[in-house]
Structure 1
Amino acid sequence: MKKNIILFLLFISVLILSGCEIGSTDSFAKPHNQNNQKKKAEPFEVASIQFNPILNEREKNITELLKITEEALTKGAKLVVAPEMSTTGYDYANREAIRPFVDTIPGKTTDAFVKLAKKYDAYIVFGMAEVENETGMYYNSAALVGPEGYIGKYRKTQMWETEMHWAAWGDLGVPVFDTKIGKIAINICMDSAYYETARLAGIKGADILAFPTNSSAQTISALPARAQQNGMYIISANRSNTENGFHMVGGSAIWSPEGKKLAEASVVMNESQDVDEPTITYATIDPQLFDNKNKEGLKNRRPELYKEIVHYVAPWDYTKNTTSHEVVAAALQYEPIIGDKEKNKEKIIKLVKEAKKQNNDLNLVVLPELSLTGPVDGKRKKEIEALAEDTQGETARFIADIAKEYRVSIVYGFIEKENKSLYNSAQLVSSSGETIGKYQKTHLNKFDKKWAEAGSTLPVFESKELGRIGVLLGEDAQYPEASGVLAVKRADIIAIPSAWHGEFGGAMEINKELSVNEYPEGSMVTWDAVAIGAQAYTVIANYIGTDRDYQGRSSLYTLDPLYGLDQPVVASEDEEEALVVKFNTLQSDAWFNQEQLILSRRTPNFVPLVEE
């Protein structure tokens, strides 16, 4: 008897190790399948449908959308995304106007798409106007259906003015739906102007963000940054025609987790180019890339620092600056001589003189990270300690002298020694040589962590000459919450001393036609996202040189090149130079500015971003 029991247990063990099912239970089979799902998952096709519904023609729109969706499914697409409000059209004046065209989710409309999803073993996301029967409230929503049937919905978090006249604010957060092809989340149009909505999907592990939109440029231009920041694929579906005077520019696209453009539909920048017929854009998604360095970077977020992003300091905020300042800034770009403060001083003096010659009204200078020592990645801790200083040390005295001589405020970086700890720090010095404030880098890279402690605050400094200035260092720019905090604290300018060599971010790949003032060659997505996301002029100073292939491109990023307010400026990749730029800090008359950003943020939804 004992021998039989032993043989039976051995048999069971073999079955478990081989992943076989016992009877009809899933207790052994499911974990095995889940563990190997990612290894076995094959690339699959996705489709974005650039579809143009007819206003007030819901039944006709649904029929046509089903037809074009089926076309994409017959060609092998396993996920199809259609635009915002794709069953009704977009422009409704009030609740009465849209009342005949709303539907529940789930309901009649989703039932029709479920049939297609089951037939082709695929998933479909489409935008529609939702009514909640229990409350009678309407929402600008999107539904997800699949082979399983109706899966879930998303209600738009950040609405644009038009739908505010009939729709309630989304109240579901940003759910992430676990499907056979990956974890799918949804954002809608104006959501992407606020980094928080995509970030809510990112922290829940979304692999794919479906993005129904009716965009005139702003929201689709933000998508490569949202893809990079969260390490997820994004499938956007836009319209390509004009409705009641509102022109939507097409450009439906699929973006990789690195912010690379995989495919894009045609861009139509004015009504004369309208394309009423639907366009299907295909691309391949590789599940092997669901795990990637950008998604891995989410583990380095520091929610304890981001509490201010859930503050709603509006409509009254007596701390904000109300006086615009004319700024002439120079970003100094040079090749660092590692550890040689004297030689780096010579480079800085030379470039400050050059900047002053370019414009005698120069009033702000931004230097690269660890300005006098250069990055110290290859040095031992004792060597780094020998280069460290307190806040009134050799570097501080040198910078103060330069500031006074040339009548400029300066942001510079240094190795700070505070008590027994070392920090990668930056200070802001006024034109009179006085230190206005200090910032200690809060998001350390792998080299910083070998010698530096992380800072614990994201301050904004008050300058009588320039307004309110926030400082980030290097990798801090990867974390939109950091610049988001500076926006809530009403920074007019963000200075970023950097030592960037391509380890994050990447080239701007939005369609050049989307921006009235074209982005210069060499524009970098991450830095642009800081400026637009915080609505603060952002000055970056970076190194050049072959030591670690520093990539230069010191720059000014601005509030709104898309609609022609201003234009970014980017330095070379490999020349020592002083990049001199001009701007006025406040743009109170612009259609979108920091004031509008702060007033429109739906902060109760952002609480998960600050939970530790």
Structure 2
Amino acid sequence: MKKTTAFLIAFLVVSSSVIYAAEIKVAAVEFNPTPKDVDGNVQKIVKAVTDASVNGAKLMVLPEFSVTGFGFSPTNPNDLDTIPGRATAALERVTRKYNNYVVVGMYERDTITGVIHNSAALVGPKGLVGKYRKNQLPEGDYDTAAPGNLGFPVFNTDIGKIAILICFDDSRLQSLLIPSLRGADILAMPIGSDMMPKFEKMSNGNHSTISNIAVLAGWTGMNVVASNQTGLISFPAMGLVDQFTGGSTIWDNNGKQLSQSKVSTWTKPLPPETIYATIDADKKSEQKAFWLKHRRPELYQVYNLYKAPVDPAANNTQNQISALLVQYDPSNGNVEANAKKVDSLIEKNQNVFNLAVLPFNSFLGNVKLNKTNIQQYAEPLNGKSYALASDMAKKYKTYLLFSMPEVSDGKYYETAILFDFNGKQAGVYRKTHLNDAEQSWATAGNNLPVFATNELGRVAVVLDDEVRIPELTEVYALNRADLILVPTAYDGKQYGSPVNIPKGLVPDASNRGMNIWFDMAKYSQAYTLVANYRQDSDKEFVRSAVYSLVPEEGYYPPNIAPNKETAHQVMFTTHANNTFWINQQSLVVGRRYDLATPLTLDMQGDCFKEWQANSARVGLCKGN
């Protein structure tokens, strides 16, 4: 009896009143459906799921539209399925037998309204657990499916809390943040990522969800099981053959890639395969813990605003940007010496530039500030460091972003100042999201400004580890920033990791840099410029860099500084090309603002707690 008890304690973990298996085997099951052949597809799906069940999988995820196929406009109800329906009934027989779970995608016809949705069902040991309807639809889906109307449910199961997103849902960061905020341990992602040749008109719509999610799991703090179609697939109704990339992948909640299928190409199309990995749904995500502890929903109210079709804050002016990202070895605490070194690095540049971005606490270096030494290092605005930075901007006739610990009226702040080319103050930002050490001595700012300039466009600032708060990225997108400037002192240890997209999904030149900075540019659709101190590491993800808007297309990959002291020059034009699959206008206009409210609720309030506790319910709370 004692041995049995000890085994059960070792195997089971109690979390949030639900008993979870400590570790579970999961599978991404690639599958290529035949359009409009529901019965034939279901038969093949049951075979694939049974095989994975025999291999011990407790959660299996199949691709988008596995049951019905897609690329057609349904005219016959039998070409679609319902939830519950033919597929869920067949899968239920498997999940009851093997005591496991399946997520499968389909065109779903609502049995009451007849409305069609791009949906996914979760089937478990006791039958149908629930369903999700895709919220963020790409242009092609609007020909057939209506946007989802079930919100972002999270389903409580005995293997963890499971959320579902479908393919293009990942195009808006809020789609991932809401399930994670609601407590999701595992994100199941049925995907249909393709890649059209560049000479095809439809190539502008290429969006590789399977590569995109590769850099998101660690930021959002969820285990992710993503399954894609693979190989060459014919769509007679559309008059084309499309190439699906495969590359199905499983990640843990710290962003570690656990398993990946082979990547399919035009010249080497590959058959579907099933991949496996073991995840621990109870394992802590340090990034998620930091995010939940330090987020400030009262600053994110712009999420609730309808910003389409005309947004007066939008800026479409093309600005030529030539920026210097100053990367140097500081003499810690020596303001004069550091300012002199920064000046010498800028002076060496003989090319035209109109912006210089300096690291975090720009002339102070890597001094660990605390309540004992802050009086020694903090300065008022218009103090010595401020004057040195102002003079530098005026000397080089450039905009310059500088940061420092500030003292004002007896309070201390971490503050960034943007100077214009005359050395005049063009904007001030006080760090709004303080880490634990900073909270012991600093006061948080309460504004997220975007500074309007004629020469650079609209400029926002994120200070150092504030990049760990993903809402800032979307808030600045919604407030139409063209540039996000990130002064940092990043050593690569506390957070973040290298971009690690399964090889072959994107050009190698784009598979570089630090995952959070990479994501910030994509999800804000604002060029993200990072200035860091030189680190004692040859790993390039810790270096100063500029990240572009659509790096997966390969036209503007991350531009990363060499591992040396330098004023690294980067050049680009804002609003130069709006023909890619996404741009800031599309991102803002197509966003489901009506579903974003949970991100703005007080986490200690009754409404938030009720929404989180009733995690599969559509509405927020009583009276809503």
TM-score (norm 1): 0.89
Residues 33 and 56 of structure 1, relative CA distance in 2, 3 Å threshold:
closer
Question: Per-residue CA shift, 1:333-358, capped at 9, x if unaligned?
Answer: 1122221101111121112113x22x
Q: Distance in 1 between matches of 2:15 and 2:507?
A: 48
Question: Per-residue CA shift, 1:402-432, capped at 9, x if unaligned?
Answer: 1111121111111111212111111111111
Residues 317 and 387 of structure 1, relative CA distance in 2, 3 Å threshold:
same
Which residue of structure 2 aligns with residue 508 of structure 1? 499
Q: Is the Cα contact below 8 Å between 2:28 and 2:61 reproduced in 1?
A: yes
Q: Distance in 2 between matches of 1:145 and 1:39?
A: 19
Which residue of structure 2 aligns with residue 13 of structure 1? none
Unaligned runs of 5+ in 2: 195-206, 603-624
Which residue of structure 2 aligns with residue 273 of structure 1? 268
1:538 and 2:528 aligned: yes
Which residue of structure 2 aligns with residue 296 of structure 1? 289
Which residue of structure 2 aligns with residue 581 of structure 1? 570
Q: Is the Cα contact below 8 Å between 2:403 and 2:415 reproduced in 1?
A: yes
* Pairwise CA RMSD: 2.3
Give 1:476's match in structure 2, choosing from 442, 459, 466.
466
Give 2:86's match in structure 1, choosing from 66, 90, 108.
108
Which residue of structure 2 aligns with residue 331 of structure 1? 325
Identity of aligned residues (%): 37
Q: Is the Cα contact below 8 Å between 1:552 and 1:571 reproduced in 2?
A: no
Q: Is the Cα contact below 8 Å between 2:370 and 2:437 reproduced in 1?
A: no
Alignment map for 1:51-62 (pairs within 5 Å): 51-62=31-42
Q: Distance in 2 between matches of 1:564 and 1:268?
A: 18
SS at match of 2:303: helix
Deviation for aligned residue 1:95: 4.7
1:430 and 2:420 aligned: yes
Q: Is the Cα contact below 8 Å between 1:501 and 1:550 reproduced in 2?
A: no
Deviation for aligned residue 1:361: 1.5
Q: Distance in 2 between matches of 1:352 and 1:116?
A: 66
1:41 and 2:21 aligned: yes
Alignment map for 1:2-21 (pairs within 5 Å): none
Alignment map for 1:180-219 (pairs within 5 Å): 180-216=158-194, 218-219=208-209
Residues 489 and 243 of structure 1, relative CA distance in 2, 3 Å threshold:
farther
SS at match of 2:367: coil
Which residue of structure 1 aligns with residue 67 of structure 2? 87
Residues 165 and 551 of structure 1, relative CA distance in 2, 3 Å threshold:
closer
Question: Per-residue CA shift, 1:503-555, capped at 9, x if unaligned?
Answer: 1110111023222362265x1100000000111111001112459x9974110
Which residue of structure 2 aligns with residue 142 of structure 1? 120
SS at match of 1:514: coil
Q: Amino acid of the residue matched to residue 353 of structure 1?
A: E
Q: Amino acid of the residue matched to residue 48 of structure 1?
A: A
Q: Distance in 2 between matches of 1:474 and 1:508?
A: 19
1:310 and 2:288 aligned: no
Q: Amino acid of the residue matched to residue 324 of structure 2?
A: A
1:564 and 2:554 aligned: yes
Residues 393 and 520 of structure 1, relative CA distance in 2, 3 Å threshold:
farther
Q: Amino acid of the residue matched to residue 519 of structure 1?
A: S
Question: Per-residue CA shift, 1:368-404, capped at 9, x if unaligned?
Answer: 1110112432x44242123212222222211111111
Which residue of structure 2 aligns with residue 376 of structure 1? 367
- Once the two structures are overlaid, the 10-residue window that deviates more, 98-107 or 321-330, is 98-107
Which residue of structure 1 aligns with residue 617 of structure 2? none
Residues 61 and 314 of structure 1, relative CA distance in 2, 3 Å threshold:
same
Residues 116 and 566 of structure 1, relative CA distance in 2, 3 Å threshold:
same
Alignment map for 1:143-292 (pairs within 5 Å): 143-216=121-194, 218-241=208-231, 242-244=233-235, 245=240, 246-270=242-266, 272-275=267-270, 277-289=271-283, 291-292=284-285
Give 2:430's match in structure 1, choosing from 434, 440, 449.
440
1:75 and 2:55 aligned: yes
Residues 562 and 265 of structure 1, relative CA distance in 2, 3 Å threshold:
same
Give 1:124's match in structure 2, choosing from 99, 102, 125.
102
Unaligned runs of 5+ in 1: 1-17, 20-28
Q: Amino acid of the residue matched to residue 400 of structure 2?
A: I
Q: Distance in 2 between matches of 1:206 and 1:243?
A: 36
- Once the two structures are overlaid, the 10-residue window that deviates more, 446-455 or 162-171, is 446-455
Which residue of structure 2 aligns with residue 4 of structure 1? none
Q: Distance in 2 between matches of 1:419 and 1:38?
A: 50
Q: Distance in 1 between matches of 2:370 and 2:261?
A: 52
Deviation for aligned residue 1:495: 0.4
Q: Distance in 2 between matches of 1:66 and 1:34?
A: 32
Q: Distance in 2 between matches of 1:422 and 1:234?
A: 40
Which residue of structure 2 aligns with residue 594 of structure 1? 584
Q: Amino acid of the residue matched to residue 268 of structure 2?
A: Q
SS at match of 1:248: strand
Q: Is the Cα contact below 8 Å between 1:500 and 1:551 reproduced in 2?
A: no
Q: Distance in 1 between matches of 2:462 and 2:502?
A: 28
Q: Is the Cα contact below 8 Å between 1:156 and 1:169 reproduced in 2?
A: yes
Q: Distance in 1 between matches of 2:273 and 2:249?
A: 11
Q: Is the Cα contact below 8 Å between 2:59 and 2:101 reproduced in 1?
A: yes
Q: Is the Cα contact below 8 Å between 1:328 and 1:363 reproduced in 2?
A: yes
Q: Distance in 2 between matches of 1:352 and 1:208?
A: 47
Q: Is the Cα contact below 8 Å between 1:512 and 1:519 reproduced in 2?
A: no
Q: Distance in 2 between matches of 1:520 and 1:362?
A: 27
Deviation for aligned residue 1:596: 1.2
Structure 1 residue ranges (4+ consecutive) displaced by more than 6 angstroms after TM superposition: 35-40
SS at match of 1:348: helix
Residue correspondences, number? 572
